[in-house]
Amino acid sequence: MRAALLIQRWYRQYVARLEMRRRCTWNIFQSIEYAGEQDQIKVPCSYPRFTKKLHNSPVFCTLGNLISHIFRENDMLKDIEWERYFNYKNIEIPEDYCGPHLTFPLTVSNVTELVEAFRNKQQLHSRYVLQLLGETWRLLRLLPNITHVSTCHKEITICGDLHGHLEDLLLIFYKNGLPSMETPYVFNGDYVDRGKNSIEILLILFAFLLLYPHDVHLNRGNHEDHIVNLRYGFTKEVLGKYRLHGKKILKLLQKIFSWMPLATVIDNKILIVHGGISDTTDLNIIAKMDRHRYVSSLKPPKQRRPLPKSKATSDHDIDVEEAEEGARDNIDGGAERRRVSSLTNSSPSAGLQRAMVQRRSLQTLDDELQERRRQAGLNVGSPHREPANHQSFCSDADAELTEAVEADAEEWKQIVDLLWSDPMTVDGCMPNEVRGGGCYWGPDVTEEVLNRHHMQLLIRSHECKQEGYEFCHNRRVLTIFSASNYYDEGSNRGAYIRLGPDLVPRVIQYQATRTTLDLTLRQSVGRTERSAMRALRQQLFAHKSDLISAFQQYDPDNTGRISLKDWAVALETVLHLALPWRVLRSQLVNSAQDGMLDYHSWFRELAISNPNKDVNTNVLETLYKHHSNLETIFRIIDTDNSGLISFEEFRQTWRLLSSHLKMDISDEAIMDLAHSIDFNKDGSIDINEFMEAFRLVDNTHHDISSNQNRAPP
């Protein structure tokens, strides 16, 4: 009996240790993911200036078309011109094409054939892709911002993030049935990025939407955003699979994303949004806004607001965003704006600052009109005294512009909160500084918003959960996440919800791969843990210079050694990942004598594959630190998507980047790096091999594995 109790106690402790490791691994993955999203939100502030420089560079003269297709948000084309631009009829289908064929209007056999083709790794021809996307765009424009759905004696299936995991979508269809009038679906955003089959998922969902427009409902997620897609893989996927017409496909998808509904309401009791809510969420405002103006949730809409009609100004208008940009450049010399708190929760005076910028733009316009009157020999009046009608005009114009700016800011905040927010356990509402956009909202906000709109449950996605779902806020908020193995194989399960007329959610869980099912708990945790530690080491190397500076503050005598306590504090100060560094020490530090760490030797353990001693180490570190943004820019430079970049393109790009990143790098150092990457010495760089050249190698991988193999079974 005593032996049995001892075995039971040992087993409980063993399982508890594994659970602690599993949760720690989860925190690593999630912290790195959110840090990346926070960096991504800063990107729109820097890309416009960078792309303007690219436009003026003769080497990148072919870049203009792609940049205008990807970055320009307000298109002046009318609907009929869009139809002409996306015309698919002149695209010929070769005789040897073996993929699925579509006829419009779509039939059930068309869509099932499409699903089966994607299951068998076939690709849909670009002619059909453009035709399918065009039909989807026309339909989405007819839909309201908030879709109202009724259970009506049948169950509705609700799916969360899919993120390009086609195997998860196919598994849901296998277990639950294909969408139909008897099996309606609500898909809650984030269909793209990260996974390898984002375009296939979109095409399947759009096809079912066209086939069953009253039974398939698609909400917009924060990844249905062309700026986010540039970083997280969807842009690269489309350009890789559709080299000839990929740009048109991306441009049409940009418009489609802006027309996706923002929320779904079931039986007037269940609210479904991608991210969440805030203390200012108002469904009445959301229902009335022009959602398509918000092409990207990362930037407020760019609008040309005409001045009130008058003889003097009937032919003039003001570009608000350009006026702001010019004023900022005059004030701070074009210095990069710094994000405060979160995307829409910035300085309280931000709205006032925008109004003042527009007031200055009005004054500038008035000065120009006065000068033109003077040149024409007209009486312009005293320069120190404005006519009464002029004062009235300026006052009315200021009031109109200020009111418009405030309305835009309120609508933008509503959308950002819906797409980016996360729940928290304590009461209140605060800026989401972890993601950099949206807010954290507490149980009291859930209670107030749901009660105000006579709702009983909020279903949202946006956050990966280990079990695929999670209740919070007294079970009035339910998070659903449908992409299993999101961070790595075995990292999490996927789930979906079935909701009947009783409005009681039933959660179905699954795992899309059988690989992890054959592993023991210890093996599964160890596999995921090793993947997380590799990702963490990459973050450490990417911030090497900042970390060394932080270490040196605790090493005033320049001994090269600091205490492990100071090491942990410095890591958190630089990385802001909120991780238990002391717990992770055994996996990050191989040797430390007398509680002291030689941090220079420690960094040498973070080795790089095929290092070249002749390459400037600052270049190496900076390239790795910004590898996501660099890869995005390389995709843009490689306009024919060949995967090859010439040395001159590489040099010109790095010169622009070094200016943008405020680094002083010589041409010689840049060319040394280019030659070191050109492994086959053909005078050009393979972009995929370039990224691989800076992949970190985990030197301690085998040590960790051997230590785990010696652990108790």
Give the active site residues: 223
DSSP code of residue 590: S
DSSP code of residue 495: E
Q: Kindly compute the dihedral angle of the four CA atoms of residues 658, 664, 669, 671, in this order, to the nearest 10 degrees.
A: 40
Rounded distance between C-alpha atoms, residue 490 and residue 519, angstroms: 9
Q: Quick one: tokens of 704?
A: 């960790």
What is the maximum alpha-carbon separation in the chain? 110
Nearest to 537 by CA among 705, 707, 699: 699
In angstroms, the first-to-last Cα distance of the chain is 22
Rounded distance between C-alpha atoms, residue 430 and residue 100, angstroms: 49
Sign of the dihedral defined by the CA atoms of residues 115, 119, 125, 129, in that order: positive
Rounded distance between C-alpha atoms, residue 251 and residue 233, angstroms: 16
Amino acid in position 28: I
* 367 Cβ neighbours under 8 A, 6+ residues apart: none
334: left (phi over 0), alpha (psi -120 to 50) or beta: left
Rounded distance between C-alpha atoms, residue 343 and residue 227, angstroms: 14
* 569 Cβ neighbours under 8 A, 6+ residues apart: 554
Nearest to 86 by CA among 69, 61, 111: 69
Angle between helices 246-259 and 64-71 (to 10 degrees): 20
Pairing between β-strand 596-598 and β-strand 561-563 as defined by DSSP bridges: antiparallel
Rounded distance between C-alpha atoms, residue 656 and residue 637, angstroms: 12
Give the three-state DSSP class for 249.
helix
Q: Quick one: tokens of 36?
A: 């990346």
Lookup result for tokens 């993030």: 161
Asked if residues 493 and 484 have their Cβ atoms less than 8 Å apart, the reply is yes
* 289 Cβ neighbours under 8 A, 6+ residues apart: 145, 411, 414, 415
Give the three-state DSSP class for 279.
coil
Nearest to 124 by CA among 103, 101, 95, 105: 101
371: left (phi over 0), alpha (psi -120 to 50) or beta: alpha
Rounded distance between C-alpha atoms, residue 67 and residue 375, angstroms: 40
Helix (H) or strand (E) holding 149: strand 146-149
Angle between helices 388-420 and 350-375 (to 10 degrees): 140
Q: Quick one: tokens of 378?
A: 């007209």
Pairing between β-strand 494-499 and β-strand 156-159 as defined by DSSP bridges: antiparallel
Q: Quick one: tokens of 555?
A: 């090493």
Asked if residues 685 and 650 have their Cβ atoms less than 8 Å apart, the reply is yes
How many helices (H) and strands (E) in the chain? 26, 20
Neighbours of 223 (CB within 10 A): 27
Q: What is the DSSP string of 521-541?
A: HHHHHHHHHHHHHHHHHHHHH
Lookup result for tokens 């792309």: 51
Please, how many CA atoms are within 13 Å of residue 318, restricted to the half-sphere of its CB?
28
Distances (CA, A) of 188 to 275, 483, 497, 699: 9, 12, 11, 41
Q: Quick one: tokens of 573?
A: 């100060």
Q: In degrees rounded to 5, what are phi and psi of residue 413?
A: -65, -40
